[in-house]
Structure 1
Amino acid sequence: MKAGAILAAVAVAILLSIPIIAAGNNFVITLGFIFSVYIILALAWNIVGGYTGMLNLGHAAFFGVGAYTLALSTGAGIHPYIGVMAGGLAAVGLGLLMSPLLRLRGDYFAIGTLSLAEAIKVAVLNIHAYGIRVTSYEGLGRVENYYFVSAVLVAVGATTYLLQRSRLKLALVSIRENEVLANASGINPLKYRVIALLLSGVFTGIAGGIYGYNLLYIPAEHVFSIEWTIIPLFMVLIGGRGTLTGPLIGSFIYLGIYYVLQFTLTEISLLAFGLVVVLIIKFMPQGVIETLFIRTLRIKRVSII
């Protein structure tokens, strides 16, 4: 845990230093911004998908609701940063709407969350077929937005770190491993799953709001796209579920491979990228962090023998 916390702190320090190192380079700052948003999304998805083991395919709905709430807030004259927080609260409301689905198990829960997310997407498209404009505020430019998303990332990372050391995590993991035994021990599975879903939702909604303000014009088709579910899911699977460092490492590996292949193998980048991701998941099904940890233990045992 100590090594993981140090690794997370180093990663955050690197992200915070990007505007200073890359002063005037908008591409690098934008890239760092995107990295930060995806890390937040991966950490948020991990709360439900990692700790409770439930496959939430409705993650994009939280993101889209957060982005749209931000746009509506700025249109009403509310400061963007307050609008971002409002996006998080709106995502909590969506989480409460989604919470009855937590009674479902396995594939039924996954299908239920995906169906609800798609229904919300269709409803928004019927109202705002061409998207919605965000009212910009003077003095809140690219660098300011970068530091804001970095502050949110630090807050989400700190919350995840505290979650790792809390009774809530123990309750969620016990429910994941053996729900019947957890229930017999006095743990209410539905209650703790709702808490996990709401916590995941508020972080995702805030990330959606920050991303939406950076766009200035929000196409509904884009912010409610299933990619905001699938990409964080892959990041967590690559890095390792149910840990602090797993989503963090998974995000860097996923995005690093994606951008390297995009610039080196332009014509077949998507095909090559998909192949690499599939191979990582196939040969490291427990994630990079867990796999390396297990192999390190085996090497130590062999050396002792």
Structure 2
Amino acid sequence: MFFTTYFLLTGLLGSLATGPSDTPPVPSGAVQSLKAARTLGAGATVTVRAVVLNGAELGGLRFVQDGESGLALYALPTRVPGFDELQAGDSVQVTGQLKNYQGLLEMDPISAVRKISSGRPLRPLKVPASGITAAFSEAHEGRLLEVTGLSRLTNSSGTPVDALSANTNYLLDGQTGALLRVTNSSSGPNGLINAGVPKGEQFDVRGILSQFSASGTGGYQLLPRLATDLVRGGGLARITAEPVPVNITAQGFTIEFSTSYPGDTRISYGPSSTELTSNRIDEALTTQHRIVLDGLEPGTTYYVQVSSRNMAGMASSAAVPVITGGHKSGRKK
């Protein structure tokens, strides 16, 4: 009896350890990395956890990425509760079936979406303009790229363009195969449609690498999301409107200025352009800056220098003189 039981157990354990495949199937609902999910390919039902790269500016598409790979998600509005509300920076867990659509591996249909958190940082893979051809590949499909050091966007014939149009293809630096596409969903004041292309300077373009190819090979295209994906000066909050004093009183004044990209608001001031001994900081990120300076001496000249810092660095203006209202205190000579 003892030996019979022993051999039955060992035989059972042995059969479990040496099944038909060395890689056990993934249990239903188990979370996988995007790389592992992509390896399973079309037809597989997977559950992944990653960070959303875009909102409604790409229509019914949402792209997600983790530390290694990216993936497209597709759902018609209201088909899956919570999907249409997803925004860039949301951390999500999504379950659905993979399929190939014109070469693009995407999750469709989606059976469940669970938002975990929001405000997660988006980390683009930086690609120099000279390396676009190598970067536009299956390994980077679905990922956020930042192509750096561009000098122009052109139409298909190589002519530089000044502004972008909906449902139109462009070439990055006029390079064949370096396709950028503007969708018709990126509209409104922050959208790409009618957005101006930087001129007379190098710039970067952020976008998600997608694919559209009937044959399933090639056809890679960069999908920028909003006008802010055309990154002038590396995203630095450069000062575009010099500081202007308003609401001048005997005790102070308000300084206003604007920047090309959002940054904090910093002001240094003092009795001369070389003695900027006092400082004020507002850490809120904005392109329209405003700080009130008060408690100053009447009828006095102050030199004011404005600055703005963001993740790309800090930009500053030259110090300018501003005179408070009223008269200086003390007896006249």
TM class, shorter-chain normalised? under 0.3
Which structure features the higher share of strand residues? 2
Larger radius of gyration: 2
Question: What TM-score, normalized to structure 2?
Answer: 0.23
Tell me which of the two structures has the higher relative contact order, counting C-alpha pairs closer than 8 angstroms and 6 or more residues apart: 1
